[in-house]
Amino acid sequence: MHQEVAMKVVIIGGVAGGATAATRLRRLDEHAEIVMLDKGLHVSFSNCSLPFRLSGAVDATDKLVMMTPQAFAARYAIDARTMSEATAIDRAAHTVHVRNLADGSEYDESYDKLILSPGAAAVIPPIDGIDGADVFPVKTVVDVDRLHTFLTSRGARRVSVVGGGFIGVEVAVNLAEAGYQVSLVEAAPQILATFDHDMVQILHKAMVDHGVDLIVGDQVSRFDGDDMTLASGRVVGGDAVVMAVGIRPNTAIAAAAGLDVTDRGLIRTDADYRTADPDIYAIGDAIEVTNALTGRPMALQLAGPAQKQARQVADHICGRTVRNTGYLGSNCIRVFDWNAAGTGLTAAQCEREGLRYDYAYVIPQDKVSLMPDASPLHLKLIFEVPTGRVLGAQAIGKGDAVKRMDVVATAIKFGATVDDLRDLELCYAPPFSNAKDPVNMAALVAGNLLDGDFRQVHVDQARGLVESGATIIDVRDPTAFQAGHLKGAVNIPLAQLRDRLDEVPRDRTVYLNCMTSQTSYTAIRLLQGHGFTNVVNMAGSMLGISLYEWFTDRTTGREPIVTGYCG
């Protein structure tokens, strides 16, 4: 018989972090009393899967609920209570005040240890006329069920999505796949801030290619029913509005209890996710975490980190020490037939952090080009100058972009340099990769840059070069050149270059391009071998530049810098 007095742990919030903490606690301590409170109708649902209900990929709403309170009780002896809102914490008394939303009753629940995993709520901004619109957040099973039921029962055809973060984009994609006519409005100049402005243009095009009316750099100023008038004056008609402009941490009771909460509403914790009160832990979307690369605090609303924190807290409560190694923010998203992933810092973040950095942008095939489904993989590898330390990466392609970012995320955890990435020995067979994986390839280019083997300009510099009449030599074969090239570029195929050296100016900077900048790199080395010190590679070349330019050309009607888009 077990004789000790059992420990009692109360957990506020029963989704990703809360449910993980509860079950790990049970596995570590069969005798602890574990109470899990959630104000919603469900605990333990797959919040990341909510958007997939809208396309039918998840074909029934109740499948989104992974464990019922009954299952928590039977399998884990966990007292999971839904519709149970924690309204206050009495730290001195070690109690949580709970309101039963089903019957209105209230009570105090005592705890030895308290875990706050309250998550965050969708922000519904006070826009003119919003009360008259059919506005839906997508944060809970109830939310997505309401939206799905509304759309199907009303025969809605047009849905406006406001906000281009992960949830907004996933909702837009899934609704478009279900046949709805979708508009997506994002106030920033781009969707998905985890991707740099250059890379995300590929996804902008993917959205448009699949029928989404994508509007960036604009915002809703007024609703008339479900129609929206934007700041630009543009009117976007719709039958329903999904609001995904952001989330607000549910940390009011933490603040009211005198715990340390930041201006952004995030709870501050120590390395073991303990708040200022040693008997109260906090995890998940509601806390501030440490960026593993910069050492600085950051918000991070991702399920993987929440689960790691949950496990670490359960371990700590049970006397086990786990090292908190910080977070990279590794992330991924499917945008129709494109896969996109990133890890570590973006170039934009490096800029804001004042880091000295550069990046390689390569576009190799994701597998042996002979394979029927081979496709270009756009990979941006960001590294510190002059150390070569890997700071981050982004990959977008129809093939396995996520794999490459998982590899980089793994390497970054060990403080990898680009030379380390070059040396990685990754799995290769023609259906899966190339003998040089795209990660190796990007690292080779990065190493060449660090070695000073060549200089480059980036895709976002191409327009300025074309418009200023810079000397651009395209080294592809004439047929490829004819199909589309940078305006003003001169065609000297690589195979003719040694015989036509006298056509390459020596008195001004000469920019070399091709399809993906790999052949132009060879041309650069060739020319340098003949004494040219004035040659610069155009990273990304026609494929990268075409994709970079396409969406803005299309939406602004500006003059294209290419005679024909590639890719």
Q: Which residues in the 19-38 window bind a copy of itself by CB under 8 A?
A: 23, 26-31
Q: Closest CB to a copy of itself among 447 and 560?
A: 447
Q: By CB under 8 A, what part of segment 462-521 binds a copy of itself?
A: 494-496, 498, 521
Q: Interface with a copy of itself includes 93 (CB under 8 A)?
A: no
The binding track of 37-66 with respect to a copy of itself, each residue x by CB under 8 A or -, is ---------x-xx--x----xx----xx--
Residue in 208, 220, 136, 142 with CA at minimum distance from that of residue 171? 136
Residue type, 207: M
* DSSP strand pairing (213-216 vs 288-290): unpaired
Q: By CB under 8 A, what part of segment 128-167 binds a copy of itself?
A: 166
Residue whose structure tokens are 């029934």: 60
Q: By CB under 8 A, what part of segment 297-326 binds a copy of itself?
A: 302-308, 311, 323, 325
| The one segment of 144-152, 234-242, 273-281, 341-349 that binds a copy of itself by CB under 8 A | 341-349
Q: Interface with a copy of itself includes 5 (CB under 8 A)?
A: no
Backbone φ and ψ of 336, nearest 5°: 60, -125
SS3 content of the chain, % helix, strand, coil (to 5): 35, 25, 40
Q: By CB under 8 A, what part of segment 512-531 binds a copy of itself?
A: 521-522, 525-526, 528-531
Residue whose structure tokens are 């020596």: 506
> In the bound complex, what is the minimum distance in angstroms from residue 98's beta carbon to a copy of itself?
26
Hey, is 140 helix, strand or coil?
coil
Q: Interface with a copy of itself includes 333 (CB under 8 A)?
A: yes
Q: Closest CB to a copy of itself among 522 and 552?
A: 522
Residue in 349, 355, 336 with CA at minimum distance from that of residue 197? 349
Tokens of 534: 């004035």
Which segments of 244-330 are extended strands (E)?
247-249, 280-282, 288-290, 297-299
Q: Interface with a copy of itself includes 74 (CB under 8 A)?
A: yes
DSSP state of 61: G
Q: Closest CB to a copy of itself among 214 and 340?
A: 340
Under a CB-based contact definition with an 8 Å cutoff, are residues 33 and 4 in contact?
no
Q: By CB under 8 A, what part of segment 524-563 binds a copy of itself?
A: 525-526, 528-531
Q: Interface with a copy of itself includes 81 (CB under 8 A)?
A: no
Under a CB-based contact definition with an 8 Å cutoff, are residues 258 and 294 in contact?
no
Q: Interface with a copy of itself includes 339 (CB under 8 A)?
A: yes
Q: Residue from 155, 372, 386, 557 that binds a copy of itself (CB under 8 A)? A: 372
Residue whose structure tokens are 């333990």: 44
Q: Closest CB to a copy of itself among 243 and 289?
A: 289
Q: Residue from 425, 479, 502, 556 that binds a copy of itself (CB under 8 A)? A: 425
Q: Could you tell me which residues come within 8 angstroms of residue 319 by beta carbon, excluding any fewer than 6 positions away?
A: none
88, β-bridge pairs: 97
Q: Interface with a copy of itself includes 210 (CB under 8 A)?
A: no
